[in-house]
């Protein structure tokens, strides 16, 4: 009889930190202690607290162990599983509790990280074994598909999704039910359902985590969509850089076919539906739906003009519905619990929840799912744990290369589609990069422009050439060669590229520049007028200085200088035995190697 379950995170983050070795050690130690009949080991998807991985949770008590290492497994098995004593040193101690307060163990749901969350798309991630279809079925898996095929008409399904207020979670927020309704009436020999899992934004890993932790919910949702619009074939377009997600999704498809939940005559309803995976090669432009469909067809991933829209002429010139992973992940729960249930969460025009990948300068990096309308302050401080090292919050980048930044002055902005657009930002797929006072906003804009220049497909001149000219102007500014006229030209060029590009990549590429110009123009002006980077990031505008009274003359700075610009002086500071060093300003290449190798903090940048 099983008395305890040991859940081990098997998401990409924890896997890269050694969770597979931890799982192997658990198998060995459980067998060595004769506990194989009493303890069940479960590999799950991502728990969300990626900064604390590898994570191990033991049920039924819910004890939450963080940063577990392979050598810790023996102690957990012998103390906790065999003797019933919590291993205190491995418990996640969020609030610096005393040991006696921790004795009963800390539950995942007791953490501030989880208290404010409401998990819908992530409901099964970290809860079930994603490689076992029976565990998905045990938590109402495929019940929504059964309900749809036995109790509802296609029109009922579309109305339910429409009434829920679900909007596309891939970026633009287009109403999902309306998109389905545009496709359903169109007659064709073949229609298609496409799942966009080509998650290309830097710092975004929401869709990957859903595929890794709950792949069956995507299969179920796509089948529901197929029934609603009259499609019998689906494709999941996922990037090849997600090997765990691809493996588990294919396993889930095979299991669904074996259980006759994909294929012919599903639930004896007369409805046929099947899925295939198509691997992408990592082209960011293939996140745009028409480019994605061309790639599935085996063509170069380039967007095409619209109209006609995919609902009329999409994949293989047939009517097609495309939604991203997170959008589909909400569908089964909406069908089971009703449109009113979903619509009760969120704001008037942005219903439900949103998954964000928290990254950057924040204590708790990882995945969070919050109701629409939650403020940025709540996400960063209540859930994310705030900014490390006592630094000040400066801005948050939403929407990746297509988005904008929210400055500290707007930290109480309620996060939903319309509020973000109103301040010149956008939701995007859900990447949320937090920046502190040490971040240079001009450099941030340059980083995203470098990305979009590299990822432009080159089909249209405004994007192909315009983004390069924007990047050249940013490089000119960060190198101290910019003029005030350049700022006006930069803004004008951004609006030109935004207005004239053929697809969403080019139309949104200038957003990071426009947002930083709007909220942090003083930083741009400092780069131009004062030839200074206020954050001390742009290397060509930095000056490194040695405080000769702090310098002990060890010579580490000189030995590590690649340009030989650190030289010995004739001055010996009081209390020191060796002459100090100085940097030749005109010869310095601003690499920072001297400062990085000074153990006595005698070097500063100005």
Grade residue 99 by pLDDT with cuts at 50, 70 and 90. Answer: very low
Q: What is the pLDDT of residue 98?
A: 47
Residue 309 has pLDDT above 90, yes or no: yes
pLDDT of the residue at 62: 85
- Please report the pLDDT score of residue 375 as a whole number: 95
Residue 310 pLDDT > 50: yes
- The DSSP call for residue 391 is P
Categorize the per-residue pLDDT at 513 as very low, low, confident or very high, splitting at 50, 70 and 90: very high
- For 152-288, where are the alpha helices, taking DSSP H only? 154-164, 176-183, 206-213, 215-229, 243-258
- pLDDT average, residue stretch 234-241: 94
Contact status, residue 209 vs residue 249, Cβ threshold 8 Å: no
Which residues does 54 contact at the CB level (< 8 Å), separation at least 6?
A: 8, 9, 14, 17, 18, 19, 22, 67, 68, 69
CA distance 403 to 376: 15
3-class DSSP assignment, residue 40: strand
Rounded mean pLDDT, 318-325 = 96
pLDDT band at 109 (very low <50, low <70, confident <90, very high): confident
pLDDT tens digits for range 536-588:
889 888 888 999 899 999 999 999 999 999 999 989 888 888 999 999 988 88
Q: What is the pLDDT of residue 283?
A: 85
Per-residue pLDDT averaged across 484-510, rounded?
A: 91
**Residue 217 and residue 334: Cα distance in Å, rounded?**
12
Q: Torsion-angle region of residue 601: left (phi > 0), alpha (psi -120 to 50) or beta?
A: left
| The pLDDT of residue 285 is above 70 | yes
Q: pTM of the prediction?
A: 0.91
In the chain, what percentage of residues exceed pLDDT 90?
A: 72
Residue 200's pLDDT is 79
What is the Cα–Cα distance from 261 to 138, expressed in whole angstroms? 15
Average pLDDT for residues 153-172, to the nearest whole number? 94
Task: Give the tens place of pLDDT for each residue, 210-226.
Answer: 999 999 999 999 999 99
SS (H, E, C) 77-97: HHHHHHCCCCCHHHECCCCCC
The residue behind tokens 């500071």 is 573
Residue 606 has pLDDT above 90, yes or no: no
Pair 91, 68: CB distance under 8 Å: no
Q: How confident is the model at residue 101 (pLDDT cuts 50, 70, 90)?
A: very low
Instruction: Determine the pLDDT at residue 95.
Output: 55
């Amino acid at each position: 009889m099983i008395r305890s379950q040991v859940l081990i995170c098997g998401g990409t983050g924890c896997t890269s930190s050694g969770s597979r070795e931890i799982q192997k050690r658990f198998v060995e130690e459980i067998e060595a202690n004769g506990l194989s009949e009493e303890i069940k080991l479960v590999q799950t998807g991502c728990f969300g607290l990626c900064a604390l991985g590898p994570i191990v949770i033991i049920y039924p008590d819910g004890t939450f162990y963080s940063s577990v290492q392979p050598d810790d497994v023996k102690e957990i098995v012998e103390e906790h599983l065999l003797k019933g004593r919590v291993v205190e040193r491995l418990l996640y101690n969020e609030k610096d509790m005393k040991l006696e307060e921790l004795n009963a163990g800390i539950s995942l749901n007791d953490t501030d990280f989880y208290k404010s969350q409401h998990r819908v798309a992530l409901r099964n991630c970290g809860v079930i074994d994603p490689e076992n279809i029976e565990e998905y079925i045990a938590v109402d898996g495929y019940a929504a598909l059964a309900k749809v095929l036995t109790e509802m008409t296609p029109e009922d399904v579309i109305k339910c999704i429409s009434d829920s207020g679900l909007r596309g979670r891939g970026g633009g927020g287009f109403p999902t039910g309306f998109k389905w309704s545009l496709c359903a009436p169109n007659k064709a020999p073949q229609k298609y359902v496409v799942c966009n899992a080509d998650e290309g934004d830097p710092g975004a890993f929401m869709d990957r985590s859903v595929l890794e932790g709950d792949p069956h919910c995507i299969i179920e949702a796509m089948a529901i969509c197929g029934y609603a619009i009259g499609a019998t074939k689906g494709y999941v377009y996922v990037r090849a850089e997600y090997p765990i997600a691809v493996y588990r999704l294919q396993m889930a498809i095979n299991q669904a076919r074996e259980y006759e939940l994909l294929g012919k005559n599903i639930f004896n309803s007369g409805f046929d539906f099947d899925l295939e995976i198509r691997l992408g090669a990592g082209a960011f432009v293939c996140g745009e739906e028409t480019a994605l469909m061309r790639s599935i067809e085996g063509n170069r991933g380039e967007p095409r003009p619209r109209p006609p829209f995919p609902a009329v002429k999409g994949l293989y010139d047939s009517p097609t519905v495309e939604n991203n992973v997170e959008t589909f992940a909400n569908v089964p729960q909406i069908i089971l619990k009703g449109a009113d249930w979903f619509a009760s969460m969120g704001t008037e025009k942005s219903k439900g929840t949103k998954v964000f990948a928290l990254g950057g300068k924040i204590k708790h990096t990882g995945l969070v799912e919050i109701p629409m309308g939650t403020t940025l302050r709540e996400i960063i401080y209540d859930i994310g744990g705030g900014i490390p090292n006592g630094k000040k919050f400066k801005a948050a980048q939403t929407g990746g290369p297509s988005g904008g930044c929210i400055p500290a002055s707007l930290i109480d902005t309620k996060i939903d589609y319309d509020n973000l657009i109103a301040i010149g930002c956008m939701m995007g797929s859900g990447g949320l990069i937090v920046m502190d006072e040490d971040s240079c906003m001009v450099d941030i804009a340059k980083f995203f422009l470098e990305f979009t220049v590299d990822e432009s497909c080159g089909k249209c001149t405004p994007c192909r050439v315009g983004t390069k000219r924007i990047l050249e102007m940013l490089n000119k500014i960060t190198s101290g060669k910019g003029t005030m006229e350049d700022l006006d030209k930069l803004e004008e060029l951004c609006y030109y590229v935004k207005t004239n590009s053929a697809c969403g990549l080019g139309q949104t590429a200038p957003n990071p520049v426009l947002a930083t110009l709007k909220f942090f123009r003083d930083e741009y002006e400092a780069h131009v007028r004062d030839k200074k980077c206020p954050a001390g990031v742009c290397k060509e505008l930095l000056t490194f200085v040695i405080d000769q009274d702090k310098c002990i003359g060890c010579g580490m700075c000189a030995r590590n200088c690649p340009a030989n610009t650190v030289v010995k002086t004739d001055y010996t500071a009081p209390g020191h035995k060796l002459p100090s060093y100085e940097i030749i300003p005109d010869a310095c290449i601003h690499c920072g190697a001297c400062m990085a190798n000074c153990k006595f903090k005698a070097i500063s940048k100005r």
